[in-house]
Copies of this chain bind each other. A is one copy, B any other.
Amino acid sequence: MKQTRIPIENIHINDSFWNGRIRNAVENVVPYQWRVLNDKEPGAAPSHAVMNYKIAAGLEQGEFEGMQFQDSDLAKWIEAASYSLLYKKDPEVEAALEEVIELIGKAQQPDGYLSTYYILKYPDRKWKEIAQGHELYVTGHLLEAAVAYYQVTGKDSLLKILEKNVDLIRSVFGKGEGKLDSYPGHEEIELALMKAYAVTGHRKYFDLAEYFVENRGTVPGFLVEESFQKFGERNKHHQADYYQAHAPIREQKDAEGHAVRAMYFFTGAADVALEKGDETLVKALEELWEKTVGRRMYLTGGVGSQATGERFTIDYDLPNDTCYTETCAAIGLAMWSLRMLRLAPRVRYADIMERALYNNVISGISQDGERYFYVNPLFLKPDVAHYRADHASVEPSRVKWFGCACCPPNVIRTLCGLGGYVYTQSGNDVYQHLYIGNESTLSSDAGEFRLTCESKMPWEGEARITFHGAEGVKLHLRVPSYAKDFTLKVNGKPAEYSVTEGYALLAEALHDGDVIDVNFVMPPHFVLANPRVTEDCGKAAVMRGPLVYCAEQADNFAYLASFRADLTKPVTMEQSDLFDGIVLLKVSGTRQEAAEWGENELYRDYAPGGFGEVPAELRMIPYFLWNNRGEGEMMVWMNAGKE
């Protein structure tokens, strides 16, 4: 199903839930992160990202500092800042963008080379440490930034820099004699090349993306390098599967290895599959997606069960406290799911894309936008998280920045680029996946048409969509898997529709000025996990619509784990004044009281009434809001049943 590219600059989000987040991102966080990247934000971990470019450009003296992929933090910021101009034409941001793009141009070497880590620190190791060097990853993020800057401003200054860089890469990598026959150590460039291909139409971008996707796992590539082998044969968490290089993509049975790498790889592979119309590749990706979300995904849309290797482990292994669930990996799952929607509009792809975005992705950023989670656990006990070695990656509270700062700018570019997740289109068939308020201009065979959407999601299942344009557009409206009593009205009157793969299509054709009311109910409810998941056996979680809820100590009591939900009693809603008036969910049940036990009394014989549970109620907030009121216990999965 050939896709129609929807220019992101034509989608303007205007949504009661997201406006505040986007406005904060645009007005506060983009400037905040610019200060951080320029090392001008007190209290934040040093970035040095801009300084590295200045040194590489010969404008400053000094040495490279940071991770080998430090450049990518700046790249993601450029992407975010570019998108931010869609919401606010900020001359300071525009000037900063021009300045930093000029700087990158000056830092670029005559042959097109770009990574400041190797320019400044290890010039003799260029292209020799593909496994961990991240040169292609940096290019990928810069290329995504270049495309965003071009889409929003029409300026191709960064795109030209990147084109030269990509041309260099094409001369270095490939099947020809004297070429390096390999693939990226950290995937990212594949999907970026496909974005560049989409906006420029230059086939060379597609060719390189296809080569990287198809070549992976077919030749030894970087697996013969020292930078791969340094981890050692016995380090099972850093073998070929860590890099998704253990097999050609069509032979990969599960999402393995580093979760962000895997998500980015499958995203780029899906782009390539769509362009090629390659059914075997599509089928492989469909199976990988089903097994990933069906065996290795947290309820919150998080992926990556283990800090060591930041990676997938084995099926149904989903510890709630020591999980990794990196913010970037959830973004990657949303990106991949969006590509799956382009390959075939099936509602489960949209359900998971939405799940990731509304939970694990935005839990990565504080309400004020200036503090971030890298790891997004589903259970936290602060004293344990502070103390235990196996919780070393779990921050009990969001922090201002990270030494490895991939996540903060990734969240911001996702927020500012959220318009890209709302629709997909194939000819005259337009699919609305997310009920996010927006005003958009798209094109059909009959010319431009406009869609506006007002929405109360995720708090209420209500959206009003207005269509302006010529006839012929078929608008497929998602029926979320959680929606009950789904109805459509056209111009105030109940309308007939058919549902295919979870998308509703009106029986009547759309006419200029039609107003469609989408209504559904989202009762709060308990969710159970597959009993193969040890950590969730006998437990339940609470969801409403796309939102996973959690209990925080601030609204409840210490020792949250001592609560037991009575599943026979309904989850109830309460309008609160928390967080500008969110709906709280309340769960009835019982709990043990720690105070009934001696402090030096670990064990006790059971006697009738032995748990001594007392009636209790658990007040729950949306997961993404946790840890905005100081440090405390947090729990998603709770014991369920009766004493």
Interfacial residues, chain A to chain B (CB-CB below 8 A)? 236-237, 290-291, 293-295, 297, 299, 306-309, 313-314, 316-317, 322, 379, 381, 383-384, 387-390, 482, 525-534, 537-538, 540-541, 559, 561-562, 564, 567-568, 591-594, 597-606, 608, 610-611, 639-643
CB-based contact B294/A602 at 8 Å: yes
Query: Within the assembled complex, what's the spacing in Å between the Cα atoms of A350 and B264?
Result: 59
- Return the contact of A297 from the options B297, B299, B597, B602 (Cβ within 8 A): B602
Known A390-B322, A600-B291; contact A528-B611, beta-carbon cutoff 8 A: yes
CB-based contact A293/B602 at 8 Å: yes
Residue numbers in B under 8 Å from A390 (CB-CB) = 306, 308, 322, 390
CB-based contact A642/B642 at 8 Å: yes
CB-based contact A600/B295 at 8 Å: yes
CB-based contact B641/A606 at 8 Å: no
CB-based contact B601/A388 at 8 Å: no
Residue numbers in B under 8 Å from A308 (CB-CB) = 389-390
- Besides A529-B603, A530-B601, A538-B611, 20 other A-B contacts (C-beta < 8 A): A293-B600, A294-B601, A297-B602, A317-B387, A384-B534, A390-B390, A527-B605, A528-B606, A528-B611, A530-B594, A530-B597, A530-B603, A531-B594, A532-B559, A532-B594, A534-B561, A537-B592, A537-B639, A538-B561, A611-B640
CB-based contact A525/B605 at 8 Å: yes
**Could you list 20 examples of A-B contacts with CB < 8 Å?**
A293-B600, A295-B599, A295-B600, A299-B602, A306-B390, A307-B389, A316-B602, A317-B384, A317-B387, A525-B606, A528-B606, A529-B603, A530-B597, A531-B559, A534-B561, A537-B562, A541-B603, A568-B608, A639-B641, A641-B642
Residue numbers in B under 8 Å from A290 (CB-CB) = 600
Residue of A307, A525, A540, A610 with highest tally of chain B CB at under 10 A:
A610
Residue of A293, A308, A599 with highest tally of chain B CB at under 10 A:
A599
The chain B residue sitting closest to A591, CB to CB, is B531
Residue numbers in B under 8 Å from A610 (CB-CB) = 526, 528, 567
The chain B residue sitting closest to A389, CB to CB, is B308
**Least Cβ–Cβ distance between A392 and chain B, in angstroms:** 9
Identical chains bound together, number = 2
Query: Within the assembled complex, what's the spacing in Å between the Cα atoms of A603 and B640?
Result: 15
Query: Within the assembled complex, what's the spacing in Å between the Cα atoms of A610 and B538?
Result: 11
Residue numbers in B under 8 Å from A389 (CB-CB) = 237, 306-309
CB-based contact A534/B381 at 8 Å: yes
CB-based contact B599/A384 at 8 Å: no
Residue of A309, A389, A610 with highest tally of chain B CB at under 10 A:
A389
**Least Cβ–Cβ distance between A478 and chain B, in angstroms:** 18
**Least Cβ–Cβ distance between A322 and chain B, in angstroms:** 6
CB-based contact B387/A531 at 8 Å: no
CB-based contact B527/A604 at 8 Å: yes
Query: Within the assembled complex, what's the spacing in Å between the Cα atoms of A597 and B528?
Result: 11
Residue numbers in B under 8 Å from A599 (CB-CB) = 294-295
**Least Cβ–Cβ distance between A236 and chain B, in angstroms:** 8
Query: Within the assembled complex, what's the spacing in Å between the Cα atoms of A527 and B610?
Result: 9
CB-based contact A388/B317 at 8 Å: yes
Known A531-B562, A610-B526; contact A598-B567, beta-carbon cutoff 8 A: no
Query: Within the assembled complex, what's the spacing in Å between the Cα atoms of A121 and B322?
Result: 40
CB-based contact A606/B294 at 8 Å: no
Query: Within the assembled complex, what's the spacing in Å between the Cα atoms of A600 and B236?
Result: 25
**Least Cβ–Cβ distance between A386 and chain B, in angstroms:** 9
CB-based contact B600/A533 at 8 Å: no
- Return the contact of A388 from the options B306, B316, B568, B640 (Cβ within 8 A): B306
The chain B residue sitting closest to A481, CB to CB, is B605
**Least Cβ–Cβ distance between A235 and chain B, in angstroms:** 9
The chain B residue sitting closest to A386, CB to CB, is B314
CB-based contact B527/A299 at 8 Å: no
Query: Within the assembled complex, what's the spacing in Å between the Cα atoms of A317 and B387?
Result: 10
- Return the contact of A603 from the options B299, B322, B600 (Cβ within 8 A): B299
Residue numbers in B under 8 Å from A297 (CB-CB) = 602
CB-based contact A532/B294 at 8 Å: no
Residue numbers in B under 8 Å from A307 (CB-CB) = 389
Query: Within the assembled complex, what's the spacing in Å between the Cα atoms of A600 and B315?
Result: 10
Residue numbers in B under 8 Å from A293 (CB-CB) = 600, 602
CB-based contact B532/A597 at 8 Å: yes
Query: Within the assembled complex, what's the spacing in Å between the Cα atoms of A62 and B299?
Result: 58
Residue numbers in B under 8 Å from A379 (CB-CB) = 534
CB-based contact A598/B559 at 8 Å: no
Residue numbers in B under 8 Å from A600 (CB-CB) = 290-291, 293-295
Query: Within the assembled complex, what's the spacing in Å between the Cα atoms of A290 and B538?
Result: 33
The chain B residue sitting closest to A297, CB to CB, is B602
Query: Within the assembled complex, what's the spacing in Å between the Cα atoms of A526 and B388?
Result: 29
Residue numbers in B under 8 Å from A528 (CB-CB) = 603-606, 610-611
CB-based contact A597/B526 at 8 Å: no
The chain B residue sitting closest to A593, CB to CB, is B531
The chain B residue sitting closest to A542, CB to CB, is B606
Query: Within the assembled complex, what's the spacing in Å between the Cα atoms of A389 and B390?
Result: 9
The chain B residue sitting closest to A640, CB to CB, is B611
Q: Which 9 residue pairs spanning A and B have beta carbons closest together?
A: A294-B600, A308-B389, A526-B606, A538-B639, A531-B562, A531-B592, A537-B561, A390-B390, A641-B641
Query: Within the assembled complex, what's the spacing in Å between the Cα atoms of A387 and B600?
Result: 35
